[in-house]
Structure 1
Amino acid sequence: MSTRVLVVGDVMTDIIVRPEGPIVPGSDRRAEIRNRPGGSGANQAVWLGAAGANVLFAARVGAADRPMYENYFRGQGVVPALAGDRDLPSGVLVTILDPSGERSFLTDRGANLNLSPGDLPDSLLEGVGLVLVSGYSLFAPGPREAVQRLLQSARTRNVPVAIDPASTGFLEEVGPAVFLGWAGQGAWLFANESEAELLTGEADFDAQMQALGRQFSHVVIKRGQFGAALGDRHGLRLSQPAPIVKVIDTTGAGDAFAAGFVAALLRGEDHEACLSAGIAGGAKAVQAMGGQPG
């Protein structure tokens, strides 16, 4: 198995807002406001780079920002394959944090919405051992067509496919059956608890694993502060707790988990070690602001 991973997903600028207290409609509230690089795909790519993986990242950004983003990703150990959009600016995400670290989002996906088949040529698959796709890329028609073509080529070449559903909001909007149809067959699914329940209609881990395992060879359910679990069509196989840490910001924790897991997988480690690496990545991510390693 090749050790290179191809990540496909969004590039965003995260504007992170931490109010000192409840927002007061029609009035002011002091807040800590910071800009950070973000986007689910970009987060995964950078966390993979930090884990020492050989990572190629394909995405679309505003044309004016392309040189800056290319330099940024190279500096993070990521090989960028970025298309520049002359019509739409790079995406922006406003994250509002409450005192518990929980997040609410306002999203303008910008250039990500114009990801096209020309941005994802089959040549990207050369030497790749796994393709990791953020579910955000499936929620708009243009990017969905581009990603589905790439995934079909990956399956033809026997390159394993991993899907991260990415958003319960979008999943509820389109419906679980539609999303699973868009995703197609895969080797791996990385879902959080809410996504797994929404996709299956089941509250029980074992039942979720069995249901999702009919479409994905391996199912990983991210449980946040409770760790993570792994299974397949036969049900739950492994479960591990998470360490107790001080939560500053949960942005990107699921992306860090997926990156840690995939990096270990591509190193040839067993599934138990991969689960541990994913949990360690997620635990590290929640202890700092932003969705990428600082």
Structure 2
Amino acid sequence: MSAKVLVVGDVMTDIIVVPEGPLVKGSDRRATVRHRPGGSGANQAVWLGAMGADVVFAARVGADDLARLEDYFRGRGVTPVLAGDADLPSGVLVTMVDPDGERSFLTDRGANLNLSSDDLPATLLDGIGMVMVSGYSFFAERPRLAVQGLLAEAKARGIAVAIDPASEGFLAEVGVERFIEWTRGADWLFANEDEAAALCGARGFEACVVALGAHYQRVVLKRGRHGAALGGRNGVELTLPARVVEMVDSTGAGDAFAAGFVAALLAGDDTGRAMGKAIAAGAKAVQSIGGQPS
């Protein structure tokens, strides 16, 4: 397998709001407000670059941001293949961070909604060993059709595919059965426990691993403070505990985890070592504000 990875997904600007206490309807609340680069696909690509992986990132952004974002990704070890959209601006995500570090989101996907087949030519797969796709790319018709075409070509070439469901809320909106139909047969599924429960409807992570293993070759569950589990249709093969760290902001922790796992796997590590590096990456991510390494 080639050690080169192609990531397809959203580019967003994250506006991260950390209030000093509960919101007061109709009044003020002091807060820390920060702008950070984000987007699930972009986060994964930048984390992969920080880990020394050979990574290509394909996405669509507002035309006014194209040159700046290309420079940004190159500066972080990522080869960008970005399309500029003349009609829609780059996406924006507002993240509200609760005192316990958990988050709620307000999303304007902007130019990401216009990702097209022309943005994802088959030549993108030349020399690629794995394709990572954020679930956000499946939640609107135009990017979904573009990604499905690329994944069909990847399958024909024998290139491994990894899917991250990305959003429990959007899974409920589009329908679990549809999402599984669109992504069935992927080599890897990286899901947090809420996404996994939504997808399989089973109780307990062991049951979810088995249920999801009927649709995906290998299943990796990101279990937050409970660590992570790996398995498939025959059950859980490996569990590892989480690292105990102070959580500042969980934005991008799942993206860092997936990137850590894939970077290690493509570097030749076995799944146990890859899981350990994934957990370490996720732990590092939660210790600072934003979804990408500083």
Q: TM-score under structure 2 normalisation?
A: 0.99
Q: Give the AA of the match of 1:3.
A: A
Q: Which amino acid aligns with 1:98?
A: D
Counterpart of 1:48 in structure 2 is 48
Equivalent positions of 1:1-294 (< 5 A) are: 1-294=1-294
Amino acid corresponding to residue 241 of structure 2 in structure 1? P
Q: Secondary structure at the match of 2:129?
A: strand
Matches of 1:221 and 1:95, distance apart in 2: 23
Deviation at 1:185, TM superposition (A): 1.1
Q: CA deviation at 1:205?
A: 2.1
Shift of 1:173: 1.1
Q: Could you say what secondary structure the match of 2:291 adopts?
A: coil
Deviations 1:250-291 (A, max 9, x none): 000000000000000001100000100110010000000000
What is the RMSD computed on CA atoms of the aligned residues? 0.6
**Residues 150-193 of structure 1: CA distance to partner in whole angstroms, max 9, x if unpaired?**
00000000000000000000011122111111113110000000
- In structure 2, the gaps of 5 or more residues are none
2 CA distance for matches of 1:151 and 1:109? 22
The 3-state SS of whatever aligns with 1:144 is helix
Deviation at residue 38 of structure 1 after TM alignment: 0.1
Distance 1:18 1:233 in 2: 41
Cα shift readout 1:80-130 (whole Å, capped 9, x = no counterpart): 000000000000000011100010100000000000000000000000000
Secondary structure at the counterpart of residue 251 of structure 2: coil
DSSP-derived class of the 1:149 partner:
helix
Distance 1:174 1:113 in 2: 15
Deviation at 1:28, TM superposition (A): 1.1
For 1:26, the aligned partner's letter is G
3-state DSSP class of the match of 2:278?
Answer: helix
Counterpart of 2:203 in structure 1: which amino acid?
A
Cα distance in 2 for partners of 1:202, 1:278 equals 25
Q: Aligned partners of 1:171, 1:8: CA distance in 2, in Å?
A: 18
Q: CA deviation at 1:204?
A: 2.2
SS in structure 1 opposite 2:280? Answer: helix
